[in-house]
Structure 1
Amino acid sequence: MSVIQGDAESIRSLAPPSGIAEPHDAHPPTHPALTNFDILKIVFQHFKAGPDSDESRASRHDLYQAAQTCRSFLDPALDSLWMSMDTLLPLLRLLPALELLGRAYVLCGSISNHDVDRLNWYARRIKSFHLKIQSTPDISPLTYIQLAQSLTRSIPLLPSLRTLHAPSVSQLSLPNVAFVLSPSLERVDIEGLTPDDHIVKPFFSALGQRANGVQSLTLRGQMSQESSRLIMQFNQLTFLEVCDTVPPGVFSHIGALPYLESLIFVLKQSPPLPSHFTNVCFPKLKHLRIDGPISTISSYYKHFAGGPIETMVISASSLLKSNPVIRAYWESCFSTISNHFRLSLCSLHLIGQGGQTWFQTLLPHLSTLLKLKSLRLQGQSFVFSQVLDLAQAVHGIHELHLPLDGSLQCKYAIPLSALGVFAESCPDLKELQIQVDLIELSSLSKASPTLHGLHTLIIDSVAKKTLDVDVAPQVASYIDRLFPRLQSLRYEKDDKSTTKFWAHVDQIVRVCQVARQHERVRAAGEWFESRNS
C-alpha cells in the first residue's frame, strides 16, 4: 500500500550495498532547532496522500523519485515512503528468493545475511501498521514460517513500529501478526472485538510478552472478563479507551494502573455497578470521558475520586421518564465533581441526550470549581434568567460553549442582548458559543463600549422570521461595542441565508475595527505634531 510495488529491483537499488546504517531518525534529536534532515522530513511528509487512491500512488512515485535525487534526500524521502504499511509484501519483495507461484508469494531459495540486512534497512523505517485481510495474490503462510527461521534473532522485524491498528477481531489471527509485534509499540487500536477468547486472548498474551511497554490502548467491542483482565499486564498505559462492555471486575483493576492519565469509558451496554462495589483509586487520572445511561454513569462516577482530574466529559442518555429520578443521578455526579475536583478541574463538557433537564441541578456546583476555565453544556436550552445565573457562576471562565440542540424548540432562544451579560460578568472570556434570537433589537443601542478581550464568537441563531439584512449594521455595531478585539465571528449551522447574514455582520465588524485603528493612528499623529510644534 505505502510503497512503490511495481519494480522491486529499483527499490533494492536505493539501499547501500554495504555498511548499512540505521535511518537518521532511529534516535530522536536532542537539539532544540530543526536540522536540514528534519526540515526535509517535514517537506516530504506533505507528499503523502490518502491510501488506495490515485493521489496516493502518485505521491509514492514522487517520494521514490525524490529518494533518487541526491543523497541528502534519500533518508527523509524513504522514511515518508515506508512510514505506514498494511502488508509485509513490499518488504518481502526485496528478497531475491521471493517468487509468485499461482496466487501466492513463496520463498524459493535461501535468504542470505546480505538479504536480511537490506530487508532491515527498510523495515526499521516503518512506524505504523494497519492489519487487514489481503487480497490475492497474498503471502503464503509457509513463507512466514520460512521467514521466521531465517530471522532467528532477538531484533524484531519492525524495530521502530509505534502504532498498530486492527479494524476487526478477525485480523488478530492473521499469520503476519507475529511479525508486527515489537517492543517499540506505543499505541494499539483494535475495533470489532467479540467475547470469543480463542482469538483475543492469544493475541493479548503475545502482545504482553513482546510489547508490554504499550502506552495507548483502544479497545472497541465486547470482551470477556477473562480477556479483559489481560489489560492489566500493560502497566505503562497512559491512555485507555474501552467501549461497549466493561466488566465490573476489570474496572477495579484499571483503577490500579499506576500511570493512567486519560480514560474513555463507553458504557452503553453496561449495567450500573452494585452499591457495595469496592472503591477504586485512579491515582494519576487527569482526563476522563464516560458515555452511557445516566444511571450507569452515576454508579461509576463516585469511584473516580482519587486522581486530580483536569478534563471531564459526560455524555449521558436516559430511557427514564421521571425527571426527579434523572436529576437525582445528575446530582450524584455533580456532587462528586464539586467535592473532589474543585481544585483541579479546568474543563467540563456535559452532553445530555433525550430531553433531560439538568442545568438547574448543575448551577449551584459551578461556583465551587475554582480552576474551571472551559465549560460546554450541550443538549440544554436556556432562558435569559438562566444566562444571568450562569454568567455569575462562572465569572472566571475563558471558554463557554452553549450549542443549540436541534431537537429543542426555537422559543427557548435568548435575545442577543444577553451578550452584554457575559461582557460584564466574565472579563476573562475568550471564546463564546451561544444560541440567540434577533426579534427584540430595541435594547441594543443602550450598550456602552468596553475593552473586553473576547476573540471568538460562535452564533447559534434561532430566527423566528427571515433575517433582514438591514438590521446587520445595528447587530454588528452592538457586537463591536461589546467586543472590540473580536477576531472571529461565525455561524456554523447549515443554513445559507442565515450564514450569509452573519458573514455580512462579520464584515461590518471588521470595517469598524479598521476605522477605529485608523482613528487611533490619526490621533497619535496629531498628538505627535502638537508636541513638536
Structure 2
Amino acid sequence: MQNSSDALISSSQSQHVTLDLDVDGIPQSEGAPHLPAFAFNSRAEAKVLRNLDLLGLIFSDLSSEPSSHLQPSIKRARGRKNLLRVGLTCKAFFDPAMSQLWHEMDSFLPMLRLIAKVELREGVYTTREVILEHDIQRLKLYGRWIRHIQISSFTERVSGHIYAAIARYTIGTPSCLFPSLRNLRIHSRCDIFPENFQFLPLLASSPLSTIEIERITDNYKVHLASFLHEISRQHPAENHPVSTLSLSGIFGISVLPHLKGFARISKLTLVHRAAGFYVENLEFLSNHPLLSVLELDLPMEWTRIIKPSPNNAVHAFPYIRTLALGGSCNHILGILCHVYGERLTQVNLKLLGRGAEADADILRACIFRCTTMAPMLDDLQLSFTALKIPQDLFSPLRGLKSPLRSLQVKSYVIDKHLFHIWFQEAGEWSDLEMLKLELHPSQASRRNQVDVLDLVTLPLLCTSFPKLHTLEIYLGHPDTDAAVIEPLLRSQMQSMVQTHGLVNLKILLFDHSSFIPFSMRDITLAITISRFINHFFPNLQHLDLSHHHESAYPAWRDWCRGVVEMTTNCTVLAR
C-alpha cells in the first residue's frame, strides 16, 4: 500500500497539464486530448494524498467513536486506536493521522516514555544511562504535533535528572520541543507531584497563546515563576505569543514581575488566594498596552481598607473593555478608586462582606465609582450577599451620558417594594436591553419569607423597559387554587392590550410557603399561562420556565415543560 501510494504521487507529478484542476475538475479546453477516466481519478487521489490539511480534517472524525452508549474514556481510547491503524496504513497517512492522535495530551508521561532509556524501576521512572541528545529525537518527532496539553493528574514519580537532560538539549537552543503547542491547561494540585512541575520550563519556547494554571500552591510556585521567566526570555516582547493568561491559587506577588515581557496579553485572570495584592500592582498591570480583559478575584482575608487620597494615583487602562473584581467590599472599592478605563464598557463586581450597614454604604459607593471610572459603561453585573439592600442603590446610574444597556444582579431576594423603587419609580431604564435578576445561592433558603412579584404583574413591570429583549427573573406562584388564578390572568389579558417586544424570557417560580397543592399544577392553568405569556410577548423566541421545587417534586418539571411547549406552539400558530 505504501509503495503504490508513492508510485501514484510520483506518476501524477510527471504529468504536465496546463490547467489547474480541482479534485473533481475536468479540463474544458477544446484542444485538450482525450484522457481515460482513471487518469483523472489518479490525479485527484494524488492531490488528496498531498493535502495534509484535508487528510487531517478527514481523520479528525476518527478520534472518537460515534456510539452513544459508551463512556467518553472508552470512546477516546477506541478513537486513538483507529487513528493509529490509519497512520500505519501508508506513508501518506502517517503525518496527518499522527497529528490528530497527538493533537491533545492529558499527561506528560507518554512523552517522557518516548525516550528509549527511560524505564520504570521500583515505582520511579528513571534511567540507567546518561541521556544524550540523540535519545530525545523521538520526543521531538512526536512533540511537533502536540497543540494542546491539559493535565489534571500526574502522580507517577519521575527522576529529576530526566527533566534536566531534556532541558540541557532544548532550553537556550534554537530547537523547540513543541513547535505547535498553543494551549496549556493545568487543573489539579492534589494529583500532581511537585517534582513533576519541572516539565513547565520545557514548554517555554513553544508559541503558547493560552495558559491556564489552577490551584497553585507553595510547592510549585517556584517552577511557575521559572516558567514565566523563560517565556519572557525566549520570546521578544513585540512578538510575544501569549494572549490569555489565567493563574489561580497561592502564587505570590513575586510572580507578577515575570509578566513584564507579556506585552501582547489581552486577557489576564488572577484568582489570588493569599493576602498580599495591593493597589500598587495596578500600575504594573496598566502598562500592558493591549490588555482588554482584567479579572481579579482576591481573598476575603485581605482586610486593609483603602481610601482614595490625592497621593494615590489613578491608573489608566487605555484599551480595557471588561473589568471583573471579586473579594471583600473594602478591597474592591479601593481598587475601583484607582482605575480608569476610557473604553471600559463592562464591569462585573462580586462583593463579599460581613457587616450589613457597612455593605450597604460600600455597595452604593461602588456603583457611583463605576459611573465615573467608566464613561462608556453599558453592562453592569453585580453579585452581593448584603441583607440590607439600599433603596437608592442605582441612583448614580441616572442621567448617564452613555445609558446602561445590560444589568445583572445576583443578590438576596428583591421584594415588590424594592423592585418598584428601583425600576418603576426611577423611569431611567428606557435604553435597557437585558435585565437578569438571580437569587444568590447563599440566600435561597429565605426566598419563602419575602413578598416577591407575581406572574400576573409581569406584563406591567415590562412597561418600564420598552427596549428590553432579554429578561431573567424570579416570580412567586400564588398559594391559592387554580380556579382563583385563572380569572386573574384572563382579566389581565382583557384589561391590558399593550404587548412587548421581549425575545428571551427565563422565569424561576417559587411559592410563598412550603405547602404545594396539586391543583396548582392543573392542566387548565398551564394552558392559561401559556396563552397569557403569548398574548403579552408575541415575539418571544426562547422561554425557560422552571420551579425551585423541581428536585423534590419532579411533577413540576413536566408541568413547566408543558407550559413552554404550549407557548411555543401558540407563537408558531400566531405567525
TM-score range, shorter chain: 0.7 to 0.9
* Partner AA of 1:445 in structure 2: M
The aligned residue for residue 379 of structure 1 is 411
- Residues 475-490 of structure 1: pairs in structure 2 closer than 5 A: 475-490=529-544
Residues 447 and 478 in structure 1, CA contact (< 8 A), matched pair in contact too = no
* Partner AA of 2:571 in structure 1: Q
Q: Which among 274, 292, 301 is matched to residue 327 of structure 2? A: 292
3-state DSSP of counterpart to 2:393: helix
The aligned residue for residue 445 of structure 1 is 493
Structure 2 residue 125 is the aligned partner of structure 1 residue 104: yes
Q: CA deviation at 1:204?
A: 3.5
Q: CA deviation at 1:226?
A: 3.3
3-state DSSP of counterpart to 1:453: coil
CA distance in 2, matches of 1:305, 1:150: 46
CA distance in 2, matches of 1:151, 1:404: 53
CA distance in 1, matches of 2:296, 2:165: 42
Structure 2 residue 245 is the aligned partner of structure 1 residue 189: no
Structure 2 residue 459 is the aligned partner of structure 1 residue 420: yes
* Cα deviation 1:143-200 (Å, max 9, x = unaligned): 3444445558412211122223343496476332332222412222233335687555
- Residues 330-345 of structure 1: pairs in structure 2 closer than 5 A: 330-342=363-375, 344-345=376-377
Give TM-score scaled by structure 1 length. 0.78
| % same residue | 20
* Partner AA of 1:269 in structure 2: E
The aligned residue for residue 498 of structure 1 is 556
* Partner AA of 1:261 in structure 2: S
Residues 118 and 125 in structure 2, CA contact (< 8 A), matched pair in contact too = no
Residues 268 and 291 in structure 2, CA contact (< 8 A), matched pair in contact too = yes
Q: CA deviation at 1:449?
A: 5.1
* Cα deviation 1:26-70 (Å, max 9, x = unaligned): xxxxxxxx9745743663565699999434323322332343456
Residues 229 and 250 in structure 1, CA contact (< 8 A), matched pair in contact too = no
The aligned residue for residue 201 of structure 2 is 178
Structure 2 residue 507 is the aligned partner of structure 1 residue 507: no
Q: CA deviation at 1:436?
A: 1.4
- Residues 265-344 of structure 1: pairs in structure 2 closer than 5 A: 265-267=296-298, 268-270=300-302, 271-276=304-309, 277-322=312-357, 325-342=358-375, 344=376
Residues 105 and 150 in structure 2, CA contact (< 8 A), matched pair in contact too = yes
| Alignment CA distance shift 1:188-1:98 (3 Å) | same
3-state DSSP of counterpart to 1:313: strand
- Residues 219-238 of structure 1: pairs in structure 2 closer than 5 A: 219-238=247-266
3-state DSSP of counterpart to 1:104: strand
Residues 63 and 82 in structure 2, CA contact (< 8 A), matched pair in contact too = no
- How many residue pairs get aligned? The number is 479
The aligned residue for residue 282 of structure 2 is 251
Q: CA deviation at 1:489?
A: 1.9
Query: 198-207 or 122-131, which moves further after superposition?
Result: 198-207
The aligned residue for residue 207 of structure 1 is 231
3-state DSSP of counterpart to 2:530: helix
Q: CA deviation at 1:221?
A: 2.2
* Cα deviation 1:396-429 (Å, max 9, x = unaligned): 2222111234143333310223321354343432
| Alignment CA distance shift 1:47-1:120 (3 Å) | farther
The aligned residue for residue 159 of structure 1 is 179
Give the gaps of 5 or more residues in structure 2.
1-51, 479-484
Residues 44 and 76 in structure 1, CA contact (< 8 A), matched pair in contact too = no
* Partner AA of 1:264 in structure 2: E
* Cα deviation 1:257-315 (Å, max 9, x = unaligned): 22111111112333333534332222211111111121221111122223411222111
Residues 215 and 239 in structure 1, CA contact (< 8 A), matched pair in contact too = yes
The aligned residue for residue 432 of structure 1 is 471
Question: Max radius of gyration: which structure?
Answer: 2
Residues 201 and 226 in structure 2, CA contact (< 8 A), matched pair in contact too = no
CA distance in 2, matches of 1:269, 1:51: 42
Aligned residues: CA RMSD: 3.6
